[in-house]
Amino acid sequence: MGGALGYQFRADTLIVKFFAGAEAEDQRISPRDPDNAVQGSAVGLKLVVDSWLDVSPLWLLSADAAYGTAFQQYWSLARRAAFWTASFARARRRSAGNEEYDAGRGGGFVRADLRAVELTLSGGFTGNYLEDEPSGYVSLAFRD
C-alpha cells in the first residue's frame, strides 16, 4: 500500500498497528460479465489493522484485517499459535470478499524450520459463504 499513513500502539506484550492509504483497482474480465459488479477501474480508501499479543513465551494471538472502498473488498485473519523449539502450530480463521462474494477458510497448520528447509503442513475447510457445502483443503509447502 504505497503512500499509506500509519500508527503503532504498544502496551507490554500487545502491539496494534493502524494504516490508511489510497487504493486503485483494475479488474478486467474478458469477455465482459454484465452480472459482475467487480470489474473496471476504481479508486478508494484502504484501511488496515494488524495486531499481535504475546500471551506467554510459548503462545501468541494475532488478528489482522483490511477494508478497501474501491470494490468493498475485505479480508481478515485470526491466528492462535503455540511455539516449541524451531516449530510452531497454529489454528487460524480467514475471511475475504467483495461486492460479489464472501469466502472463508478455517483450519490449522504446523510449521517446522529444519536448518536447510522450512516445511509447512496445513489443512481445514474452505468455501464461499453463499454456497451450501464447504470443501476441505490440505497443503504441504517447502521453502529453502
Return the HEC string of 88-112.
EEEEEEEEEECCCCEEEEEEEEEEE
- pLDDT band at 130, cuts 50/70/90? low
- pLDDT band at 125, cuts 50/70/90? confident
How many domains are contained in the chain?
1
- Give, in degrees to the nearest 5, the angle at Cα 22 between 71 and 64: 75
Please, what is the average pLDDT of the chain?
81
Note the pLDDT tens digit of each residue in 89-118: 566 677 777 777 778 878 887 777 777 887
Amino acid at 130: L
- Three cell numbers, residue 38: 467487480
Residue 1, pLDDT score: 43
Q: What distances in angstroms separate CA 3 from CA 7, 16, 19, 140, one per listed residue? A: 14, 19, 10, 35
Note the pLDDT tens digit of each residue in 14-64: 999 999 999 988 878 778 777 777 778 889 999 999 998 988 877 878 889
| Residue with more model confidence, 75 or 99 | 75
- Determine the structural domain holding residue 67 and report its residue range: 5-32+39-143
Of 90, 103, 91, 99, nearest to 134 by C-alpha is 103
Structure pTM?
0.69
Alpha-carbon gap, residue 114 to 106, rounded angstroms: 26
| Residue with more model confidence, 22 or 83 | 22
